Amino acid sequence: MQIAVIGSGDAVIGFTLAGVRKAYEATSEDELIAKIEEVMADPDVGILVLSQSDFNNLPSRLRGTLTDSVKPTVISIGTEQSTEMREKIKRAIGVDLWK
């Protein structure tokens, strides 16, 4: 299983320096959607990382697909408050670790 990252140049460079080999820069919404579809179809990717702001700007249908995806598991990171990670862990292991 591999980790894939899609986003702006700064985020992609940081993950590339950390050793992530599947890092894709997307500068427009169309590029972002195309790369997401490509990564979702890749059987080697187990985790897809997106910025929270990119995730929030996606069409609602695609956001729903990404939220429900188990393989790859989609994680959005950023400074915005989100309970997404908590819900994914709770759904995966059946326990709310924050209680």
Domain residues for the domain of 24 are 2-93
Whether 64 is covered by a domain: the verdict is yes
Give the rounded percent of residues in the chain with a pLDDT score beyond 70: 79
Model confidence pLDDT, tens digit, residues 16-37: 888 899 999 998 999 999 999 9
Tokens 């899609």 correspond to what residue?
6
Other C-beta atoms within 10 Å of 1: how many?
A: 10
Total-model pTM? 0.78
Task: Find the helix packing angle between 60-68 and 29-40, rounded to 10°.
Answer: 30
Can you give the CATH number for the domain in which 25 is found?
Answer: 3.40.50.10580
Q: Partners of 3 in the beta sheet?
A: 47
Q: Which residues of the chain fall below pLDDT 50?
A: none
Number of independent structural domains in the chain: 1
Whether 81 is covered by a domain: the verdict is yes
Whether 98 is covered by a domain: the verdict is no
